Structure 1
Amino acid sequence: MSNQQPEWHLPTRLVHAGERAPAPDATPTTTPIYTSATYLHADFTALDEALESDSGYVYTRHGNPTVAALEEAMTIAERGAGAAVFASGMAALYAALLAAGTPRGATAPAPRAILAARDMYGATTLMLQEFFAVRGTQIATCDMCDLNAVDAALNTVRPDVVLVEQISNPLLRVTDIRALAQRARAAGARLVVDSTIATPILQQPLTLGADLVVHSATKYLSGHGDAAGGVVVARTSLVRDTLRRQARLLGATLGPFEAYQILRGLKTLALRVRQQCRSAAEIAKWLTTHPAVASVHYPGLETHPQHTLATEAFGGLYGALVTFELREATRATLSRFFDTLRLILPATTLGDVYTLASAPAVASHRELTPEQREERGISDAMVRLSVGIEDVADILADLRQALEVG
């Protein structure tokens, strides 16, 4: 592109004034937000070479410096071979399943069969049904916490892809990633782990043999309730390259503003998650003593069926979600509890700096049938608490007054 500028008219000069200045000699301490949709090269030959070699920046769907910084940070966090980011966690999960189901050495996604955990986020169940099953992919589910059941399902289904949540939503069941990875590999399948709730602070599934790890970056990675996004990190360069190609073709691109916000959130991830886990453990223990609470689901409790596994896997942290069931299982009691909250916010997401409460039967698993919810153990009296970074005494005080009868 020529640097010689003719004497343009004012409207033209206003369009181009101040643009395309040389990069500063100094290095910024934080990653700038690159909003440009496209990029210029020295000349046409350089542009042609950039497109041919697939290196550098040409078009923002193919690559953006702010987005690339987030991908690099997540690759480091999960100790993988590379990452791709998306406009939402669901888009990231869809891309991960396509990449995992792509035969080795092929370019077209072709998941023949997916073996998924029985306990999953409601929208994930719907995705498997409405985007994969209807197109001929066999979908099977089993209890991924029961390794004998996993062995039987692998032998029967012979899947290309095994899909689990490291800590399930909303029952907080914990899976043995190392054992599942070994079994998946022996069966010729790739293991995809949704680690949104665990975060890289509790565990890095790729180091245990998983092939792809997925995060809804809207949750703990961003952590402030102001950015939506999704991340997939691959264990090998082969899967990474497949994932990135499919990311470009799907076009569910994360914007640079959101990438910057999530990248900023990562800087305090460890501080936030550790504090939230400590508070959640105290809250879970307190809830077990309250007469208005029928049961509490939390991996840090000795009564939790995977407590020993969680202790070994997570190094003394057990996550920042606490799920409990009200003893009086009526819609009126559930409504009164939510309407009485003062500090805790009744919101449908998780992983925020604020403490949030939701009812899975009404929110995250609303679109499942009553039979599907019952099969998964999700009752109409269930409350999922996402513990924030407020002082734990204030959170407990709000729960205490909301749980009072009458």
Structure 2
Amino acid sequence: GAMAELERGGSAHAFASGMAAIHAALLAAGARAGTRVVAALDAYGATVTLTQRLLTELGAQVRLVDVSDLPLLETLLAETRPVALLAETISNALLKVADIAALAELAHRHGAQLLIDNTFASPYLCNPLTLGADFVIHSATKYIGGHGDVMAGVVVTSAENRKKLYELNKLVGGVLGPFEAWLAMRGCKTLSLRVRQQCVNAARISEWLAAHPKIARVNYPGLTSHRQHDLAQRLFGERGFGGMLSFEIANAGRAEVFRFMEALQLCLPATTLGDVYTLMLHPATTSHRALTAEERARVGIGEGLVRLSAGIEDVNDIIADLHQALARIA
């Protein structure tokens, strides 16, 4: 109920993880043997693997595409007539922003349902159902739970899709336990407070990094240098640009990135996000490790890329930690 209200949807269904939620939403949208699915090229690595490998092995055809290239996407949708188009509000690792209203219009014109993973934005910044999405998915492990102590997933959809999801949840059994549901519910109560501060911190951190000589590139929708800054401003700019960012350390390979991450004292290296603590990870060896080196190169996930999830600490402490850790690499 709380998630349905937060996302302005007809009904919400809780799952044991974000991946269980995505899997169920794809099945509810009609992904089966002989059908086609189009997914964002730069989505979370496990999402790409789920669609590319598992759905393909089960007999569905999956095409990956840069969803920010609308003419290319339209051509592909017209060609494939998929049952589902899957994208992320803000993409995992490269922070690309999806034009949800345009995606919904294109998907519906070509007979597909639109599935949006809203994990990176959280319901505080964006409500994709109000922009035309058919299913909204969250790894509630992240911003919804908010304290790094619960694993959960949520799918919010219309009243019409409710029955399909309910049946799937029952049959496949990826249901959320009562204690985890209670923890996620506790997280909902402080969501707006936490995300507001995380947005403020991420904005300051991204500006500081952008001016640092050892940083080649910063991906953050709040920076005017971001390719889709205007779209982000339109979608959620009034509230902030999210707590997630990523940056490329200049001329750094895996060894330099690991040296930087091992030198951190306040920020924690961790394979999650949306926590009250500032967390960092190396996408090439964690979130996108299941992709081949060629697949990562195609997406733009380099060896020098670091993903940062801003916490709610004093931003000057976070920046001081980044400063001393960057000083450790030649």
User: TM-score, normalised on structure 1?
Assistant: 0.79
Match of 2:84 in 1: 161
- Give the secondary structure class of the aligned counterpart of 1:84: strand
Show CA shifts across 1:73-119 (max 9, x none). 000001111011100000000000000116xxxxxx66711010111
Picking from 196, 208, 211, the partner of 1:274 is 196
Q: How does 1:158-307 map to 2 (within 5 A)?
A: 158-234=81-157, 236-307=158-229
Larger Rg over CA atoms: 1
Percentage of identical aligned residues: 53
* 2:53 maps to amino acid: E
Conserved 8 A contact 1:111-1:160: no
Q: How does 1:280-359 map to 2 (within 5 A)?
A: 280-316=202-238, 317-359=240-282
* 1:121 maps to amino acid: Y
Conserved 8 A contact 1:115-1:142: yes
* 2:282 maps to amino acid: A
Tell me the CA shift for residue 290 of structure 1.
0.5
Using the alignment, how far apart are the partners of 1:382 and 1:349 within structure 2? Answer: 16
Conserved 8 A contact 1:192-1:212: yes
* Corresponding position: 1:141 with 2:64: yes
Structure 1: which 5+ residue stretches go unaligned? 1-71, 103-108
Using the alignment, how far apart are the partners of 1:110 and 1:155 within structure 2? Answer: 20
Using the alignment, how far apart are the partners of 1:394 and 1:216 within structure 2? Answer: 28
* 1:183 maps to amino acid: L
Q: How does 1:94-109 map to 2 (within 5 A)?
A: 94-101=23-30
- Give the secondary structure class of the aligned counterpart of 1:308: helix
Using the alignment, how far apart are the partners of 2:131 and 2:275 within structure 1? Answer: 27
Tell me the CA shift for residue 332 of structure 1.
2.3
Choose between structure 1 and 2 for higher RCO, CA contacts under 8 A separated by at least 6 residues: 2
Match of 1:93 in 2: 22
* 1:399 maps to amino acid: L
Using the alignment, how far apart are the partners of 1:370 and 1:332 within structure 2? Answer: 17
Conserved 8 A contact 1:100-1:160: yes
- CA spacing shift, 1:110–1:246, aligned 2, 3 Å: farther
Cα RMSD (Å): 1.1
Conserved 8 A contact 1:86-1:252: yes
Using the alignment, how far apart are the partners of 1:378 and 1:395 within structure 2? Answer: 24
Using the alignment, how far apart are the partners of 2:54 and 2:286 within structure 1? Answer: 21
Using the alignment, how far apart are the partners of 2:277 and 2:171 within structure 1? Answer: 36
Q: Which runs of 4+ in 1 moved over 6 A?
A: none
Tell me the CA shift for residue 130 of structure 1.
2.8
Using the alignment, how far apart are the partners of 2:319 and 2:61 within structure 1? Answer: 45
Tell me the CA shift for residue 241 of structure 1.
1.2
Using the alignment, how far apart are the partners of 1:182 and 1:98 within structure 2? Answer: 21
* 1:139 maps to amino acid: V
* 1:251 maps to amino acid: G
Match of 1:127 in 2: 50
Tell me the CA shift for residue 330 of structure 1.
2.1
* Corresponding position: 1:80 with 2:42: no
Using the alignment, how far apart are the partners of 1:308 and 1:129 within structure 2? Answer: 31
User: TM-score, normalised on structure 2?
Assistant: 0.98
